[in-house]
Structure 1
């Protein structure tokens, strides 16, 4: 039998509390780091712009979100791998501003590069996959690939290639062995999962949930919020001590 101390409910409560603590510390960094203020401001504007359908402000805000996050890396770690990965993520964000009538090659490789960098850093820190975590992400990846094949063939290659790396980030970031007692590490798993959710919503919006109602725009806002928070938690967990 599962003991009360290790029950799924207690584990869920513990993980949620850890995520909240990590998010709080990431937000509090804005009091000492101007680049964090810039990141949060651009990120918040992108969320509200998506909710209200403001296309031009959304484009400006999305374009301005990733560069300040690179400032966090430069301040705390200056890892060439992470900086290159964030540059790839920025290219991916810019590519998503256009409707993918043809295969978005630059966006595909940009997102793949970003998550390859995240995965490499996570692996270097000792993260390893487990059958259970791989199985869950493989199911999500296969579902996404099936949606792209069914509804939008221009997204088959991005779903197959970039999707593998996004799933790898989520799998490795969720390795509990990464926890070393510091609050920032507690956000790694949440960050990886939020980025997986963000890419999943993006695919749904391009395949089956293609409307422009308030509900659809709320999904867009949720996607941006997951993207902004997920990247912040991952970068902080990988660079801060």
Structure 2
């Protein structure tokens, strides 16, 4: 995380991303809708600067993934839009899965089994509270879990490439962010205070997750 922040001194768009993310997180905790709505659509376009700086031939796929995430961000600004927003983020994670695979990541049974637990719990909660969201919990949730499984592959942990360690942390933070999002939508609907707190946690973990994943993926070598 420290290196991701330190690079902001040489990358103006990264500095702008960090300021915008911090503003959004603070506004989310405070419930300031105006600041949230202004800052959220700016996040991933700013983060795309890291991809554009990369010389890797598949950077176009990173831009496609961030475009999907941006679409998801914009759609989720509207009420009752979780299903449609998940479609954009599904594209985001599909791109991450392909990018990680191309860098040598492979799934393992142990990692998959661990991540199947929160996926099953989220699906059970959706089935109980909002059955129409079960396909989202299984489909999109499965993609997020797959990103996390691939990013956790020890073959990415090359000591000569310190950025690779961020992939696992970023993917797990994304998994946590979406878990809290499900709780906010399905378990905290009657408490504005809990919703605001959950919203702040969601955006804090999400913005850090995106930064760590993009940094890590585009510091890894194609194989």
Shift of 1:240: 2.7
CA displacement, residues 136-181 of structure 1 (integer Å, 9 cap, x when unaligned): 1112112111111211234223222211111111111111210111
CA contact 1:36–1:72 (8 Å) conserved in 2: yes
Q: Provide the rounded CA distance (Å) in 1 between the counterparts of 2:208 and 2:93.
A: 15
The alignment status of 1:238 with 2:217, answered yes or no, reads yes
Which residue of structure 2 aligns with residue 24 of structure 1? 2
* TM-score normalised according to structure 2 size: 0.92
CA displacement, residues 1-43 of structure 1 (integer Å, 9 cap, x when unaligned): xxxxxxxxxxxxxxxxxxxxxx111001100001101111111
Q: Secondary structure at the residue paired with 1:104? A: helix
Structure 1 segments unaligned to the other structure (5+ residues): 1-22
CA displacement, residues 63-83 of structure 1 (integer Å, 9 cap, x when unaligned): 111111111101114611111
Q: Provide the rounded CA distance (Å) in 1 between the counterparts of 2:146 and 2:114.
A: 11
**CA RMSD between the two structures:** 1.5
CA contact 1:108–1:161 (8 Å) conserved in 2: no
- Aligned pair count reads 216
* TM-score normalised according to structure 1 size: 0.85
After superposition, where does 1:1-241 map in structure 2 within 5 Å? 23-76=1-54, 77=56, 79-100=59-80, 104-105=83-84, 107-181=85-159, 182-210=161-189, 211-213=191-193, 215-240=194-219
Q: Secondary structure at the residue paired with 1:100? A: coil
Structure 2 segments unaligned to the other structure (5+ residues): none
CA displacement, residues 40-91 of structure 1 (integer Å, 9 cap, x when unaligned): 1111111001000001110111111111111110111461111101000011
